[in-house]
Amino acid sequence: MVGGMQSSWLWYVAVVIGAFSPASPRRIWGVLLILILAMLAATAALILLKGR
């Protein structure tokens, strides 16, 4: 659930950036994908650290 909440705002960001940015859509989605993966990795790390 937390992962869904974290990534749901990225869809809105992608739409706004895509509408107003001169950057290519592939680059925008690549950066957003990296952000999603970083958030998921941070969430997994926090879960593992809290489990200790």
Q: Which segments of the chain have a pLDDT < 50?
A: 1
pLDDT score at 22: 85
Record the pTM: 0.59
CA dist list (Å): 41 to 4, 13, 15: 14, 20, 24
Contact 36, 10 (CB under 8 A): yes
